[in-house]
Copies of this chain bind each other. A is one copy, B any other.
């Protein structure tokens, strides 16, 4: 499925397109082309020369903007991470004042966002930080910050039993490890969402503070 253009034949390396008025700035154009190619062919099979050709920008200039392909991947992964965090925050806001509901909604929103990435392209997963086996179970800094805020606020309000919010987040991360890329992508979408909802219910239920627990009649 490698595209037919041989990157080595890119003779127009330093022949740069002039930026027309209203066209996105150079850096943005490079990122857009890189994302398109990464999603389709995967970062491993995409070269800087491919990206230069697709964005109409010289190879040398691409290197001036981004030191390496890894930096491009990193920046796009950060953007994905920010999208996940935004969707978690939006879901939490929509869930109302209960910390349990906010946490559950944020956790499920994360799964749904990751499932959406998979739909963007075969290699969507690669950009959702599942390239390195080291980071399989990590939420990423921005999604983690959203959880931190919900857990801290919930604990402060006496709704969650979380004397050590970072430990709680670590446990949630571990519990949801199997609902992270690439494992997550084994499941059919509906199955994955159902599993996420159940897991969130049980995990978040386990954090209910005694003060917040309804007592029987």
Complex CA gap A91/B211 in Å reads 31
Q: Would you call the interface of chain A mostly helix, strand, loop, or mixed? A: helix
Contacting residues, chain B, for A117 (C-beta < 8 A): none
A199 at the interface (CB under 8 A from B): yes
Q: Is A95 an interface residue (CB 8 A)?
A: no
Question: Which residue of chain B is the closest to A179 with respect to CB atoms?
Answer: B174
- Can you list 22 A-B pairs, Cβ within 8 angstroms, ordered by A? A136-B183, A161-B205, A167-B198, A171-B195, A171-B202, A174-B195, A174-B198, A175-B199, A175-B202, A177-B177, A177-B183, A201-B206, A202-B207, A203-B203, A204-B206, A205-B208, A206-B206, A206-B207, A206-B208, A210-B214, A210-B216, A211-B216
- Decide: B198 and A171 in contact? CB cutoff 8 A: yes
A175 to B199, CA, bound (A): 7
Who on chain B is nearest to A133 by CB? B186
Asked whether any CB of chain B lies closer than 8 Å to the CB of A137, the reply is: yes
A178 proximal to B (CB < 8 A): yes
When C-beta atoms are compared, the residue in chain B nearest to A137 turns out to be: B178
- Chain A contributes a number of interface residues (CB within 8 A of B) equal to 31
Chain A residues close to B by CB (< 8 Å): 136-137, 161, 167-168, 170-172, 174-175, 177-179, 183, 195, 198-199, 201-208, 210-211, 213-216
Could you tell me if A203 and B175 are in contact, using CB atoms closer than 8 angstroms? yes
User: Which residues on the B side are within 8 Å of A195 (C-beta)?
Assistant: 171, 174
B residues near A174, Cβ cutoff 8 Å: 178-179, 195, 198-199
Closest B residue to A217 by beta carbon equals B210
Q: How far is the CB of A83 from chain B (nearest CB, A)?
A: 24
Contacts of A177 in B (CB 8 A): 177-178, 183
